[in-house]
Copies of this chain bind each other. A is one copy, B any other.
């Protein structure tokens, strides 16, 4: 077999158990914070007809689609994001659900671009959407969820910042300058690139719109007046004690064309990296997708596993929190040690009994020396070892960290006794 079969495709990852544990740590935090905020999980297909993406997102995403023709001759795509699919589900099913809908999703997304640091061809995305509520209280709820997620992942105040903005600020700016709709869109594209414009390309582009770089920079640094929505969001977050994690920054407009109002991005405090997460209001997407049949305001947020993992690894106390969580995991609760090979059948019966009671049990599958079995118990990071010898049903339970030992009888109560030891 060719060498290639022993490698993943470029930009794809194998998750060996130690990597999968990190992934699951992130997923666990995503699900836990979503749960605390009353969100329920959904999932859509990984493969979709390409037209779903071409119509909706346009722009940058269109050129990065992981697109192919399937055996049925269909133009299909490995999803680059989930909001388009969510739009479809909403159009078909929204009537069945009370508004506002609090929905979230964790799944893989794909893009076909040159793999580079932090940019794989597949990544997991945590998507949270609050659907059917136009009030900025919904935007604030979602930003609060984002802040709680960052805290839950071990980030402290000052490690990250939510940069908060409103696209309508620029629409009003464009209107005041008598720009056409197309020019207003062009303006948003330029503002989006301003911060990373090392080659000075933005100035000439703005001049073509009859604007100067200076006036745009002033509009960012000294905003004339914040929108009512931004003020409402800030007041709402203030009531939650979360205002210190947020700063208004009108240079944030988000790359995707479907955002309509408040937008936000999460950055490392030094803003040295790309945004680790972002979201905003998309009040017209479902309306547009349904050809004007369904008017459903919504606000959404997404975070990818690759970028947030990188930030955790570069933030000592977040990394410490993750490591502590991973260190606390073990392959089993109790490792059975067979001191007398004659007791094998009894050991299997006991393993079955304990497992049925929810206790994670492992043991050496074949005969092994006493010491080797203890070594295997340590390698499985089992907190407890249960030694089964010729006094069965008399057995002894050892706490491996302290070498403490208690004598037990393998009867109906043993699972309960072991569970209590595990809680200690």
Chain A contact residues, CB within 8 Å of chain B: 1-2, 4-10, 12-17, 19-21, 23-24, 32, 35-49, 51-52, 55, 66-72, 74, 76, 78, 85, 88-89, 91-93, 98, 100, 102-103, 108, 110, 112, 122, 130, 133, 135, 137-138, 141, 144, 148, 151, 236, 238-242, 289, 291, 331-332, 344-346, 348-349, 351-352, 355-356, 358-362, 365-366, 376, 379-380
Query: Closest Cβ of chain B: how far from A357's Cβ, in Å?
Result: 9
Copies of this chain: 2
Contacts of A130 in B (CB 8 A): 365
**Bound-state Cα–Cα, A212 to B144, Å:** 73
Query: Closest Cβ of chain B: how far from A258's Cβ, in Å?
Result: 13
| From B5, B44, B349, contact of A240 by CB (8 A) | B349
**Bound-state Cα–Cα, A356 to B144, Å:** 11
**Bound-state Cα–Cα, A273 to B244, Å:** 60
| From B5, B37, B351, contact of A55 by CB (8 A) | B5
A51 with B141: in contact, given A23-B43, A42-B16, A360-B38 (CB under 8 Å)? no
Contacts of A39 in B (CB 8 A): 331
Contacts of A362 in B (CB 8 A): 37-38, 102
Whether B241 and A36, one on each chain, are in contact in the complex, defined by CB atoms closer than 8 angstroms, is no
**Bound-state Cα–Cα, A122 to B76, Å:** 15
**Bound-state Cα–Cα, A70 to B122, Å:** 14
Query: Closest Cβ of chain B: how far from A174's Cβ, in Å?
Result: 27
Query: Closest Cβ of chain B: how far from A68's Cβ, in Å?
Result: 4
Query: Closest Cβ of chain B: how far from A394's Cβ, in Å?
Result: 19
A88 with B5: in contact, given A13-B45, A38-B360 (CB under 8 Å)? yes
A9 with B76: in contact, given A1-B289, A137-B365, A360-B36 (CB under 8 Å)? yes
A1 with B55: in contact, given A70-B66, A122-B45, A332-B38 (CB under 8 Å)? yes
A sample of 7 cross-chain residue pairs with beta-carbon separation below 8 angstroms, ordered by A number, consists of A1-B51, A4-B49, A9-B74, A37-B360, A38-B331, A70-B112, A102-B362
